[in-house]
Structure 1
Amino acid sequence: MATAGERDPDDTFAVADALAAPVLTYLDGLRVERGYSPHTLAGYRRDLARLVGFARRRGLAQWRALDPEQMRGFIAAEHRRGLSATSVQRLLSSCRGFFGHLLREGGLAASPAADLRAPRAPRKLPQVLDADEMSRLLDFPTLTPEDVRDRAMLELLYSSGLRRAELCGLRWGDLQLEEGLVRVRGKGGRSRDVPVGSKAREALSALRALGAATPAQPVFKGARGGAIGEALVGRRIKAVAQRQGIDKRVYPHLFRHSCASHVLESSGDLRAVQELLGHADIATTQIYTHLDFQHLARVYDDAHPRARRRSRSEDG
């Protein structure tokens, strides 16, 4: 449901005019040809609904009529309306992607967003669980088939740094448990082979022993026997965290952050972490070097004789 001041995307696209129709074609291409997840597509749809609404309010009949000055006004208005710098960056990225599609299809002569710059967002480091917290989270009894499934999900998320959509899309044919590998279809339909640790292999073997593990079957199933939904994954993770007494907010992507941080902390190999996570650009992976530096700084503060704060007894 749209929040106050936003237009519901479904309402926006109810009329497939010369503005909305190309957007719908573009979104369909992202889904079919590039394999974008429903979650990612929903974000694009919301962003481009804002753009369509703006163009209609300006009385534009086609995208060729949108000029850079109008586009600059649109981005500035969204920022003034309260959209965060990070959200404005995403909005501008969505618009640029759509304009690139129009350029390729001959619907535009030039992108009206070519020279626009989004406001700079403060760099926010991802939250992680430390190794002890992760062990406590994963050490829960498997008393029911649902528990067995949940253990396998959580172990695999942490072991291999999968995105939630990648986890939900897994089939048994993607797993090579004896070799300790899983083939993952990531963003943009790109595939990568990812190692699976021993604890995750044990949990997956226990899940496979419950039956219905033919190559085409989903690894993780919902109540109706189909592939588990992304929302249910989030709810199950939250339930396990509460049961295990983890007082941090625990969500699917936290396992990916924790996996990357722990591997980098142990190995120092940024390229290996990039391959593990399936990042197209190593700059995306470099955020984990900041986490590793924070850990180093804490160790230094605790251990270095010239860094430690003196206790009151030492002060005399």
Structure 2
Amino acid sequence: MAVFSEQKPQNRVARPSGPSRSRRVVDAVSDARLSAEPAAPGADELPDIVELVMAMGRAPETPPADDLSPPLPAVANPRLPAHLDALADRARDYVEAASSANTRRAYAADWRHFASWCRRQGLEMFPPDPQVVGLYITAQASGTVTGDRKPNSVSTIERRLSSLTWNFSQRGQPLDRKDRHIATVMAGIRNKHAAPPRQKEALLPEDLIAMLETLERGSLRGLRDRAMLLLGFAGGLRRSEIVGLDCGRDQTEDGHGWIEVLEKGLLVTLRGKTGWREVEVGRGSADATCPVVALETWLKLARIAHGPLFRRVTGQGKAVGAERLADQEVARLVKRTALAAGVRGDLPEGERGIMFAGHSLRSGLASSAEVDERYVQKQLGHASAEMTRKYQRRRDRFRVNLTKASGL
């Protein structure tokens, strides 16, 4: 049985054939407006979904009399009583806290991408139609969404499908991802186009030591970068976890954890993807490579006693700002120092440039720490040992030899 029926879905075409005279006049005015003004909201210029959800409790805005654009699909909420305004404000804060800023940006970008495609195809977005979504993911896999005819990867298509599901749900019109028009097509895309995962190169201790030698000696920026690399490696931290740390508990609103300097090492309490966890970072065998000493030196010379640990260095490297570093700075730091240190110099320059990122620190610890696997799993905050093994790039895969154990 064919997945897609021959009959065209009803109410999918933006304008029906054979319009009346009044409808032609309205269309002519609308076309003139579209050619002279930016696209109306409701197409690919829809606002961030967080703004739609955060509109709860607000009085609905009355559109201008001459506004011919379709209304925004938002969650219908009656105006709340005045004494509940404070709760509505708190609810909007919780809406923002439900997802990270990066996630919200990705959801908004994917929503605009889908809306733009629907507009070009002359299709309506609402109500959500699994057949339209199935055609959309087919267009992505076949490379017909954009002009360069470059197919999207399976991971990109799956992410956009998840974004659509979330966006439709927040607008009160759920999308059924199990519908055959979506599920069967997505299964075929995975079977035909899925590629093995590309993993970032693991940075081993000798690589990290060489990277530290490329940093400026005696400068505030060099001290900061040294502490970031050593703490990220020894703690097995994600890049967002590194820059999200504060000097103490509850010091900033955007912080994701804090540190405690103890006699034998550093206790890091942080909120990651798997929830709150504690990470112990012991003191190293030498001050030159000790993450605790590097962090203490940075905090002392940068005169940081409160707020974010890692901040921008300004004024030609002589002043420390108050703003927290963005997590992208960690990835740039890892890539820049790895290339400068000649890590994996046996590969072409262009190929080396895409092999290193923030995850290279986490995978480096997992690959080089010769301890029981469960300790590595705890340090990295993984829910399963299988996930930890994916980070162990250079582990002895044949330490357990089932061939010999079976008697062969």
Task: Indicate the residue corresponding to 1:134 in structure 2.
Answer: 208
- Higher relative strand content: 2
Q: Distance in 1 between matches of 2:49 and 2:386?
A: 30
**1:1-150 → structure 2 map (5 Å cutoff):** 15-17=40-42, 20-21=46-47, 23-25=49-51, 32-38=96-102, 40-64=103-127, 66-81=128-143, 82-99=151-168, 101-102=169-170, 106-108=172-174, 110-111=176-177, 115=183, 116-117=186-187, 118-119=189-190, 120-139=194-213, 142-150=217-225
Q: Distance in 2 between matches of 1:212 and 1:163?
A: 25
Q: For 1:229, what is the secondary structure of its paired residue?
A: coil
* Equivalent position to 2:266, from 154, 176, 180: 180
- Higher relative helix content: 1
Tell whether the 8 Å contact from 1:18 to 1:61 is kept in structure 2 after alignment: no
**1:265-304 → structure 2 map (5 Å cutoff):** 266-269=370-373, 271-279=374-382, 284-288=387-391, 291-292=393-394, 295-296=396-397
**CA shift digits 1:134-153 (9 cap, x unpaired):** 23223456321111111001
Match for 1:232: what amino acid? E
Tell whether the 8 Å contact from 2:330 to 2:358 is kept in structure 1 after alignment: yes
**CA shift digits 1:178-235 (9 cap, x unpaired):** 15211223238x33221223211111111121143233x2111113431122343333
Q: Distance in 1 between matches of 2:358 and 2:277?
A: 20
Tell whether the 8 Å contact from 1:273 to 1:285 is kept in structure 2 after alignment: yes
Q: Distance in 2 between matches of 1:107 and 1:43?
A: 20
Give the TM-score, by structure 2 length: 0.57
Q: For 2:245, what is the secondary structure of its paired residue?
A: coil
User: Would you say 1:154 and 2:241 are equivalent positions?
Assistant: no
Match for 1:150: what amino acid? D
Q: Distance in 2 between matches of 1:91 and 1:14?
A: 22
Match for 2:140: what amino acid? E
Task: Indicate the residue corresponding to 1:206 in structure 2.
Answer: 297
Per mean C-alpha deviation after superposition, the further-off stretch among 253-262 and 134-143 is 134-143
Cα–Cα, structure 1 residues 133 and 27, in superposed 2: closer, same or farther, change >3 Å? Answer: farther
Cα–Cα, structure 1 residues 134 and 226, in superposed 2: closer, same or farther, change >3 Å? Answer: same
Cα–Cα, structure 1 residues 288 and 167, in superposed 2: closer, same or farther, change >3 Å? Answer: closer
Q: For 1:185, what is the secondary structure of its paired residue?
A: strand
Structure 1: runs of 5 or more not aligned: 1-12, 301-316
Tell whether the 8 Å contact from 1:163 to 1:256 is kept in structure 2 after alignment: yes
* Equivalent position to 1:236, from 299, 319, 333: 333
Per mean C-alpha deviation after superposition, the further-off stretch among 158-167 and 136-145 is 136-145
Tell whether the 8 Å contact from 2:233 to 2:362 is kept in structure 1 after alignment: yes
Tell whether the 8 Å contact from 1:181 to 1:195 is kept in structure 2 after alignment: yes
Per mean C-alpha deviation after superposition, the further-off stretch among 153-162 and 82-91 is 82-91
Percent sequence identity is: 26
Q: For 1:260, what is the secondary structure of its paired residue?
A: helix
Aligned pair count reads 275
* Equivalent position to 1:262, from 368, 372, 375: 368
How big is the alpha-carbon RMSD for the aligned residues of Structure 1 and Structure 2?
3.4
**CA shift digits 1:21-57 (9 cap, x unpaired):** 573547988982224143x444333323222223333
Which structure has the higher relative contact order (CA within 8 Å, separation 6+)?
1
Cα–Cα, structure 1 residues 21 and 129, in superposed 2: closer, same or farther, change >3 Å? Answer: closer
Give the TM-score, by structure 1 length: 0.72
CA displacement at 1:259 relative to structure 2: 1.8
